[in-house]
Amino acid sequence: MAETDQKELSESEPVKRRRKAPEDRVRDIVDAAADHFAEVGFAGGTRDIAKRLGVTQPLLYRYFPDKDGLIEAVYKSVYLESWKPEWDAGLQDRAIPVRRRFEDFYRDYIEENFNPRWLRISYFAGLRDAKVNQWYNHLVEELILKQLVREHRNELGLGDEAYVSPEEMEPTWQMHGGLLHFGWRRHVLDLPTASDTGQVIGDALDMYFAIAPKVYARAAPKDVDNGHE
């Protein structure tokens, strides 16, 4: 519980510095709020956020209608910055074997997102109101996990069916969730984890690819040739 002590003013100079461009101010506030909420949760005080910026608390209410509005802005900021547009194309580049493709992706994805701030805010958000996290999980499912199933099935010569059944999703979540829990242990709980993140990712993918064929076969029995649903 150490004092943050934003500015050590020596009583000689007023140190009155003000006036930032609104866009910059908004960005700074959201950034400080994200840091603060990541540390103490969304019950954290607005005065502490202001203190981080060297600014008074009522100023926040000039840029956000209320605390919930600020929290929502933090949600958007954290989640929108967590996806690199180039990943979309990368995951569908069939010039690269599926296994290599997803290992490269996860190395970058984890490097980019698995830090205390992102992880803590994600879990705080999930506990606060599930909707935001539901939305993000839907994104993960659509952008990563379903792609993994489709691309892998294709590489195995099982056709180009776009539909992925809930039964096929579960093992992909098992892999993804296991990696998330690796981040939880390393960056939230501060527990000693394997030093070689690349190997952790490689093993997680190996585990999935080992049972994936069985899962695909289970989901699409060969005796029936109808579509889905």
Partner DNA sequence: CATTTAATTTATCAATCGATCATTTTAATG
Partner DNA sequence: CATTAAAATGATCGATTGATAAATTAAATG
Q: Which residues bind its own copies (CB under 8 A)?
A: 41, 43, 120, 123-124, 126-128, 130, 133-134, 137, 166-167, 169-171, 173-182, 184-185, 188-194, 199-200, 203-204, 206-208, 210-211, 214-215
Question: Taking CB within 5 to 8 Å according to partner kind, which of its own copies, DNA, none is near residue 193?
Answer: its own copies
Name the minimum Å distance from CB 215 to its own copies: 7
Helices (H), the chain: 22-40, 46-53, 60-63, 67-80, 86-90, 98-113, 116-128, 130-140, 146-155, 166-183, 197-219
| CA 45 to mean position of chain CA atoms | 24
Q: Does 19 bind DNA (CB under 7 A)?
A: yes
Question: Taking CB within 5 to 8 Å according to partner kind, which of its own copies, DNA, none is near residue 155?
Answer: none
Cα–Cα distance between 26 and 60 in angstroms, integer? 9
Cα–Cα distance between 204 and 121 in angstroms, integer? 24
Question: Taking CB within 5 to 8 Å according to partner kind, which of its own copies, DNA, none is near residue 47?
Answer: DNA
Q: Does 6 bind DNA (CB under 7 A)?
A: no
Sign for the CA dihedral angle at 169, 195, 197, 211 comes to negative
CB 29 within 8 A of CB 58: no
Question: Taking CB within 5 to 8 Å according to partner kind, which of its own copies, DNA, none is near residue 51?
Answer: none
Question: Taking CB within 5 to 8 Å according to partner kind, which of its own copies, DNA, none is near residue 149?
Answer: none
Q: Does 22 bind DNA (CB under 7 A)?
A: yes
Among 31, 35, 39, 48, binds DNA (CB under 7 A): 48
Q: What's at 77, amino acid-wise?
A: S
Residues of the shown chain interacting with DNA in the complex, contacts defined by CB under 7 A: 16-20, 22, 25, 43-48, 54-59, 61-62, 65-68
